[in-house]
Amino acid sequence: MTRGRAVVIGASHAGAQLGARLRSVGWEGEILLIGDEPYLPYQRPPMSKTYLAETAEIDDLLIRGPEFYDRQGISIRRGRAVRIDRDEHRVVLDDGESVGYDKLALCLGARPLPLPVPGADLPGVHQLRTAEDVEAIRSAVRGSRRAVIVGGGYIGLETAASLRKLGLEVTVVEAADRVLKRVTAPEVSDFFHRTHQAAGVHVRTDATVVALEGTGRVSTVRLADGETLPADVVIVGIGVRPNVDLARDAGLDVGDGIRIDPYARTSDPDIVAAGDCTSYEDARYGRVRLESVPSAVEQAKAAAATMCGRSEPIAALPWFWSDQYDLKLQIAGLNTGYDQVVLRGDPRSDREFSCFYLRKGELIAADCVNRPQQFIFSKRVIAERLPVDPGSLGDLSVPIATQLAWALEKASLASAS
């Protein structure tokens, strides 16, 4: 069936891609995209970078302009879905309107975790996810001098870089013993720690926030050891949780995300899901939930095909990126369960290097800092499960192209034997 009404809840990267993809794979009926923000779908990665640093405005970040949706016959409705009636094939919105569907896509995204301490609701305390969040931060930092960022993950460090560009004194507070601990090797963590310190950011690890204090507005961040940090603005970036309430209340199978199969199908055959709100079984890494634009786009493609009665599995390798100062970190794969790290370049002295993660001799992930060719190499090797020589990976005298040729030859010989 491709002539009914397809409803997409969530005007995100996944939602925008899914709506566009539906047309290209044959959906001939109505397409309705429902979002709860006053903008057309926009790119979210720049929120902590160019948008916060005031070098881009929202119109610069639109995924597609209004004429695209008009041309494709995609209607956009502002609203928030509060209930799904699966028996009646209807979605109830927060204004009471009920919208019928033949096929439904959930692209619900994720929301920031709140900081569970006293004072977290004081004025001057912000989270960073949406354009509205960033506009509030932009307003708050004007005339401010000191910012404290709670959380030393990618969002926290990207935000720190942007605020330093705006001239603020910045302190990053991380509860773990190193920044980026959940996602990188110690060598990469140390590199970014040093980079931010060199840019004037105060990085505090092994530091737990126990309270935010102030009279009428936040002015102090209190740590577990009793130290207090003065703050005109506080930004909390300690992770996100997937938006699964709507799906759970509708009786869909959820866990750490809405559970989907390799074709983006939920436990209801007429409902698919895509993006940060989902989890799925990846052939390389097991069940995963990915907070990644490329992954959201790939899931959306699979979901659109499923809605049109076609079968296109989610197959692309997970990859990510982070921009901080003049550094572009490109990440291929997931390093979960690695047992060996190989460095190509020296992160103690170079601003260009790669960190390769191996498990039982197989390359499973790579962090590439200002090394786009090594990122491309890593994506191909991981995706095709090509063999690597750990000794050569870190040898700068052996060109990466030579290593790829060797890997392809070894793979060819293995398949022929």
Convert the pLDDT of each residue in 207-242 to its tens digit: 999 999 999 999 999 999 999 999 999 999 999 999
DSSP per position, 43-65: -SGGGGTTTTTTS--GGGGBSS-
Q: Report domain extents, the chain.
A: 5-111+240-307, 114-236, 326-416
pLDDT over 90 at 373, yes or no: yes
pLDDT (tens digit, 9 = 90+) per residue, 42-85?
999 999 989 998 888 999 999 999 999 999 999 999 999 999 99
Contact between 150 and 173 under an 8 Å Cβ cutoff? The reply is: yes
CATH topology agreement for domains 5-111+240-307 and 114-236: yes
SS3 405: helix
Q: Regarding the domain with residue range 5-111+240-307, which homologous superfamily does it belong to in the CATH classification?
A: FAD/NAD(P)-binding domain (3.50.50.60)
Q: What pairs with residue 331 in β-bridges?
A: 320, 367
Q: Is CATH 3.30.390.30 what the domain over 326-416 is classified as, yes or no? A: yes
What pTM did the predictor assign? 0.94
Q: Which of 197, 199, 181 is nearest to 238 (CA)?
A: 181
Q: Give residues with Cβ within 8 angstroms of 397, minimum separation 6.
A: none
DSSP at 197: H
Q: At what angle do helices 154-165 and 186-198 cross, to 10 degrees?
A: 20
Segment 344-349 mean pLDDT: 95
- Phi, psi (5° rounding) for residue 273? -150, 155
- Residue ranges with strand state E in 180-232: 202-204, 209-213, 220-223, 228-230
Q: Regarding the domain with residue range 114-236, which homologous superfamily does it belong to in the CATH classification?
A: FAD/NAD(P)-binding domain (3.50.50.60)
